[in-house]
Amino acid sequence: MTPTPQTLLTNSAAVFSYLMKQLAEITKKFQLKSSKTRKLKNLFKYAYQKELSSDSNLGLFIGPTKESVTLIRFFMKLLLISRKIIGQENLTSAFNAHLAGKRVIFFVNHTGVIDPPIINYLLDEFIEKNFPKDNILWTWVAGRRVWDSFLLRIFSRCSRMITVFGNKYVKEAKEASENDPSKLEKFLSMRNHNSRALRWMRNSKDIIFVFPEGTWYSDGKLHKGDPTAINVARIISNGGENETIIIKCFLEGADHVLPASGDPGDDFPRFLEVVKRGNVIFHVGIPENWLDILAKVPTGIAKNEVDKWIVDYIMRGIAQHAKLEARGVYA
């Protein structure tokens, strides 16, 4: 029986027992040699012990650990039969813009918890080959609740992440506080956390990765974009003061490697049970200036509809790189 996310958060003995059991299944599934099996178990053990010693009350910014990065790289080599980047010239332009001091935001479709590890792995390979002497840093905008699972945190620490509370949860907290004043502190805390996150993004020089759909879905198709994702571009551009470049990307094949359950709270406990080998393609779109996108907004559109129009424009750009059956509402 798979432990619940809460058990995997609070019971370290359950975590380790579960890991070892599932790694035995991985060994059989992928027919690993004994040397690789030993290495995989040790990598999990090191990452697990590192997380045990970390603060479980995670704050605004989450940095990667050497242990988790090493573990993820091993897993990517194991899982990815083939991998490639289409639009490498666009990726080169984006990195050159970043190195020239411009702000860069990648908007990417979201198929599951494995998306950032796959993209990180592809970008690391690309940078090692094409920008070996440059210090290129990027940060993912991640839903704050992904940290509610101990095991999910182990895998997520392969990345630099800035955490935010999703609009849905902030809205629910606000409504709850209106009915129960004792819950006002929780709502204010969530709102303050998001304000701090946006300020960090505005002041940081990192490339920022955003999932405009706001969450992942189990059908492998594109879903309606969340207008609140546009706040990131508005904050980073700082009213046009910071030249900001937008890149629209589509990750293909990740939903085969790890079929998502549709509930981020459930996915990592399922990871070792359902993960499989597959092929992935990262499609990178043509860089576009944020001010040029703003100039395309139809005149006369209601103010409260502007960000809806922009996020749909970005999602349509992402959909251009997807096969017809994966375009979902943007077909």
What pLDDT tens digit does each residue of the chain (331 aa) get? 555 545 544 555 666 777 777 777 778 888 888 888 888 888 888 887 887 776 655 567 777 888 888 988 998 998 999 999 999 999 999 999 999 999 999 999 998 888 999 999 999 999 999 999 898 999 999 887 666 666 677 777 888 888 888 877 888 999 999 999 999 998 998 899 889 999 999 999 999 999 999 888 878 899 999 999 999 999 999 888 899 999 999 999 998 888 776 554 444 555 666 788 999 999 999 999 999 999 999 999 999 999 999 999 999 999 999 999 999 999 9
Residue 291: closest CA among 208, 211, 233, 248 = 233
- Cβ atoms of 204 and 175 within 8 Å: the answer is no
Q: Domain holding 282: CATH number? A: 3.40.1130.10
**Structural domain includes residue 20:** no
Q: How many CB atoms are closer than 10 A to CB 39?
A: 15
Count of structural domains, the chain = 1
Full-model pTM: 0.90
**Structural domain includes residue 318:** yes
**Structural domain includes residue 21:** no
Residue 97: closest CA among 126, 136, 130, 128 = 136
**Structural domain includes residue 23:** no
Q: Which two tokens stand for residue 123?
A: 């970008």
- Give the residue numbers spanning the domain of 223: 60-330
